[in-house]
Structure 1
Amino acid sequence: KILNHLTTIPEGFKPIGKVNRLLKNAKKLLAKNELDWGLGELLAYGSILLEERDVRMSGQDVKRGTFSHRHAIFRDANNYKELNRLHGIAPNQGKFRIFNSLLSEFGVLGFEFGYSLATPETLVIWEAQFGDFYNGAQVMVDQYIYAAESKWRRMSGLVVLLPHGYEGQGPEHSSGRLERFLQGCAEYNVTVANITSPANFFHAIRRQLARPFRKPLIVMSPKSLLRHPECISNIKDFETGNRFQEVIDDAQIDTKKAKKVRRLLLCSGKIYFDLLAKRREDNITDVAIVRIEQLYPLPEKQLERIFKKYSNAEIIWVQEEPANMGAWQHMIYNYCTKVPMKLISRKASASPATGFKKRHEKEQKEIIEKAFS
């Protein structure tokens, strides 16, 4: 019902040509029972609305999405009137409010945090244009989002989406500063995730209101993965009976094959797809790749099962970020006395990323090749 509504244009509304192409591609995916990130995200919001709960979203370019993946609002090519794609799914549904905000991370994130305190039954989301820009609201993160429950016993279910990933766009458009968010984690104050599948994002979003308590959710959200041909989920993965997966094991290696695995690559985020492509290209069968989708609270029981399964393997943490950034320090802090773990990453750096495309590609290639050498 929701997907049909999302891919149908009402009579009398004339969309621009790009919207027609968007809907055509969406219908092609649905014909194969598949959903990409944009559809999976809107499906999550639609499912919450059908529970008669509201969804509120703001940020500097959220109606379209910075990377043109969301298109929550269409505009009529003739009169420029807006069509909210999540209105009118059912007679009795929650309200979907979405606002392109002013260019103040500090002001807008602070407002949305306050809104989330006042409306715990509403899904409240703030999205940065790029994850790098959140530092304009660092005070709100440190003083309120991370410490409000400890200081004032105030819970918040605010979702913060920070587009993150190393794609050669330079030091101001590559990093949501994952390491800083992980450094502030303690006493189960927040959830920090780096999600790589539309279905898993769907379940993470729904979990925010499904739980009998509220915790802020910080997501290192994707950029290039929004259109990656393998970042697709089957429609069955969204159905009742499925849930958010904190850890995603290597589907190609069963328990029997695991005994022959010489190296276990642990990673989080889009680098998984680079590693997967390299393994496939070189026909490597003795290296397993496991994704950690939730970095805090760390899913220790799931990880213990992973380490037990690959008991003969050397364990390596692989990340795109420099050694002094990303999740490496967080993993070492939690596992230095439990399992031996090595690092493959960019070298420590004062700047999050290089501004030279060729240097970025060289660094990325070296990380991937070293992971399998």
Structure 2
Amino acid sequence: VVEYGAELGVEEFVIGMAHRGRLNVLANVLGKTYNDIFAEFEGKAFGSDGFAGDVKYHMGYSSDKIVRGGKKVHLSLTPNPSHLEAVNPVVEGISRAKIDQYHQGNVKKLVPILIHGDQSMAGQGIVYEVLQMSQLQGYGTGGTIHLVINNQVGFTADYVEGRSSTYCTDVAKTTLSPVFHVNADDIEAVVYVIKLALEFRQKFHRDVFVDILGYRRHGHNEADEPRFTQPDLYRRIARHPKVREVYIKKLVESGSLTEKETTQMEDEFKQYLNDRLEESKQQETASVTSFLEGVWSGVRRAEEKDFEKSPETGVAQKKFVEISEQVTDLSRNGGAGTNLKFFAKIQKLYENRRKMVVEHKKLDWGMAETMAYAVLVTNGTQVRLSGQDSGRGTFAHRHAIITAEDNTKHVPLNHLSAEQAPFEVYNSFLSEYGVLGFEYGYAYAAPTTLTIWEAQFGDFANGAQIIIDQFVASSETKWHRMNGLVLMLPHGHEGQGPEHSSARIERFLSLCAGNNMQIINCTTPANIFHILLRQMAFPFRKPLVIFTPKSLLRHPLCVSQLDDFLEGTRFREVIDDDFAEAKAVRKVLFCSGKVYYDLLERQQTKDVKDIAIVRLEQLYPFPEKQLHAIIKRYPNAGQWCWVQEEPENMGAWCFVLRTFPKNGNGLELVAREADSSPAVGLPQVHAFQQENLVRRAFDQ
């Protein structure tokens, strides 16, 4: 693939595979030295910092290979977990980012390669999801080479137990992708078919599959006993000559080599391996590829002090107003002579957004988010946003893609100036697992782009839990790979039932340690503006999980003053109460997210001055220093409560209880009773529960 690909103009291959056979690929394809591989088997830690976050056959690697024709080809093997096929969408996202940003959109210069097992090919649904993405505008990579290592058996299961289809590759029929079936014992036939597959990909830019029919000589691994479950098959395999023996016989019979020469080659190679093994024993550490090079140069690792105070991300007033007028001017919709006509409600919405800045000087959530993107692209930072219905927004608050009366799709954020960076927004197909994995991969390869995945409802993220657990939360710990992906998860209890209320804050907080990611549940338009700008202003990259609102998108009190966006302002990790009288306060209510506005309504209508409401806008990294400063303002408070609308066994409570600063008083809880479901189904019951919760917060 590599040698012939270079002849066809390929400059880079991005490879994804499971652990089985990985060391072979590392050594014989990517050129990882035997010394380093043996050093890992000796238990040597990676690098000077003693990093040892994952098993050796999950680690990534990259190298430049000079092929026979003298051309240089870059090869990268993506790190992966044991979850079979989970790396597939990540590889596609990495490939798309590199095609977009480093190969000027030329898909012929980069080819993704996915190496599958036969059982996982048929059994893992992510294979189908990724295949369905292959021809979509926002996710295509010009075709992927799929190599299926077909061993005709799973761990212990027979192939007939692994699928209902005739072939494990029958999923390829959904996109009319060609499939080549080839005998693994016939090495020259395998080479011929792979060349043919590569030619097809380069010509037609579609996925192509090569089903390499072989077997496992030793079962699932070298220590396994396959005759427990496949006695007849493994009697046949024991009698069958090895692939090397089959090919040696062919070479000898053709006169290409003598038997003596083949024996000599084997002896020399074994001696070479023994020499490398002895050398590896003298190494103090194993080698690990640094990724803080190339496009990652200038990015450093985060430090504890980085989270003590957010950097300033406000914008000069003149520039802010100018950008707001550009982004709301629908006449800026293309080249000369273009005169798109828009639905009257859209025109009014954009005019109202203009007035928010230039007249009323108050911005709602939709305008604040739009301004964040506008400021970023104006300053040269590319933005990529994808998710189900993300163009308009599930709750019709964004309208980043607007459709003219003639069905032309118009993106106002791409018509600000000739010098701006691109703003890309895609309505994804109905997948969470595949699309989140893709966007994670995109952010992996494009650290200077703000990459966002948005769930239609926050709880839909549970369909992508493997990506969240195995990549988003832990990649820096396991593989030393930073990632700046943003997740937007609509969250809030508003009577919509169990499936449309909770984005499962508790699950994300249970994954937090070592400042591995940022968990945000903000309540003001200014804070959503600043957190998006902060993500790119930080000199490092950490995943950012934002629990976004639904009803607050149109709540009359959920607005921010223009001054909150201007020079000298920043993201506020904790927001204090400016209504209560600090020295008179006897009780402090700490909360996060939408429930603040329910508490605020009661405080204001009842004119309660002796109970303060403090908002934690950032839950992790926990803003302990900022919180301490606010707690000191209430010396006479004798009661401290955490208020959440989620049930007691969900939400942030368990995390807050473990993390909250000890101030001599116990932290009390006001929440719904523990439940196995996040929310009730009847709106009337929800309203009663919510009213009761707010009353208890003030009266209990």
Q: TM-score per shorter chain, which class?
A: over 0.9
* Matched residue type, 1:364: Q
Residue in 2 that maps onto 1:85: 412
Extract unaligned runs of 5+ from structure 1: none
Give 1:300 deviation, angstroms.
0.4
1:9 corresponds in structure 2 to 330
2:569 aligned to which of 242, 258, 277: 242
Which deviates the most, 22-31 or 323-332?
22-31
Does 1:275 pair with 2:599? Answer: yes
Q: CA deviation at 1:24?
A: 3.5
Please show how residues 353-372 of structure 1 align to structure 2 within 5 Å: 353-372=679-698
The secondary structure found in structure 1 opposite 2:330 is: coil
Query: Could you say which structure has the greater relative contact order, defined with CA pairs below 8 angstroms and 6 or more residues apart?
Result: 1
Amino acid at match of 2:678: P
User: Is it true that 1:310 corresponds to 2:659 in the alignment?
Assistant: no
Q: Which residue of 2 aligns with 1:251?
A: 578
* TM-score (normalised: structure 1): 0.97
Secondary structure, counterpart of 2:410 in structure 1 = strand
Match of 1:183 in 2: 510
Whole-angstrom CA distance in 1 between matches of 2:657 and 2:486: 27
* Residue from 411, 427, 434 that aligns with 1:107: 434
Quick one: which amino acid aligns to residue 655 of structure 2?
H
Residue identity matched to 2:628: E
Q: Distance in 2 between matches of 1:289 and 1:63?
A: 35
Q: CA RMSD in A?
A: 1.1
Distance between the aligned counterparts of 1:9 and 1:80, measured in 2? 15
Match of 1:300 among 599, 608, 624: 624
TM-score by length of 2: 0.52
Alpha carbons 2:574, 2:626 under 8 Å: kept: yes
- Shift of residue 336 of structure 1? 7.2
- In 2, distance between residues paired with 1:25 and 1:57? 24
In the alignment, structure 1 residue 200 sits paired with structure 2 residue 527: yes
Q: Which of 622, 646, 654 is residue 321 of structure 1 equivalent to?
A: 646
Equivalent position of 1:352 in the other structure? 678
- How far did 1:310 drift? 1.3
| Alpha-carbon offset, residue 337 of structure 1 | 4.5
Structure 1 Cα separation of the partners of residues 646 and 635 of structure 2? 27
Q: Quick check: 1:291 aligned with 2:615?
A: yes
Point out the more displaced range, 81-90 or 158-167. 81-90
| CA distance in 1: counterparts of 2:351 and 2:531, whole angstroms | 27
CA contact (8 A) 2:327 2:374 kept: no
Structure 2 distance, partners of 1:202, 1:367, is 30
Letter in 2 for 1:54: Q
Distance 2:662 2:567 in 1: 38
Shift of 1:22: 1.1
What is the match of residue 144 of structure 1? 471
How has the CA–CA distance of structure 1 residues 350 and 106 changed in structure 2, closer, same or farther, with 3 Å as cutoff? Answer: same
1:342 aligns with 2:668: yes
In structure 1, the residue matched to 2:287 is none
User: Of residues 641, 651, 657 in structure 2, which corresponds to 1:332?
Assistant: 657
Shift of 1:7: 1.6
Q: Kindly provide the CA deviation profile for residues 244-300 of structure 1, in whole angstroms up to 9, marking residues without a partner as x.
A: 0000000124xxx31211110100001111111011111211110110000001110
Cα distance in 1 for partners of 2:500, 2:348 equals 28
Aligned pair 1:75/2:396, yes or no? no
- Counterpart residue type for residue 71 of structure 1: H
The letter of the residue matching 1:60 is Q
Query: Is the Cα contact below 8 Å between 2:490 and 2:549 reproduced in 1?
Result: yes
Task: Output aligned runs, 1:99-138, within 5 Å.
Answer: 99-138=426-465
Deviations 1:82-120 (A, max 9, x none): 111101211111100000001110000000001001000
3-state DSSP of counterpart to 1:218: strand
After superposing on structure 2, the runs of 4+ consecutive aligned residues of structure 1 that deviate more than 4 Å are: 336-339
Greater C-alpha radius of gyration: 2
Task: Name the CA distance, whole Å, in 2 between partners of 1:337 and 1:304.
Answer: 10
Matches of 1:355 and 1:250 in 2, distance apart? 33
Q: What SS does the corresponding residue of 2:632 show, helix, strand or coil?
A: helix
Distance across 2 between alignment mates of 1:309 and 1:325: 30
What letter matches 1:21 in structure 2? K
Q: What SS does the corresponding residue of 1:99 show, helix, strand or coil?
A: strand
SS where residue 98 of structure 1 aligns? strand
Q: Percent identity?
A: 50
Larger deviation, residues 307-316 vs 291-300: 307-316
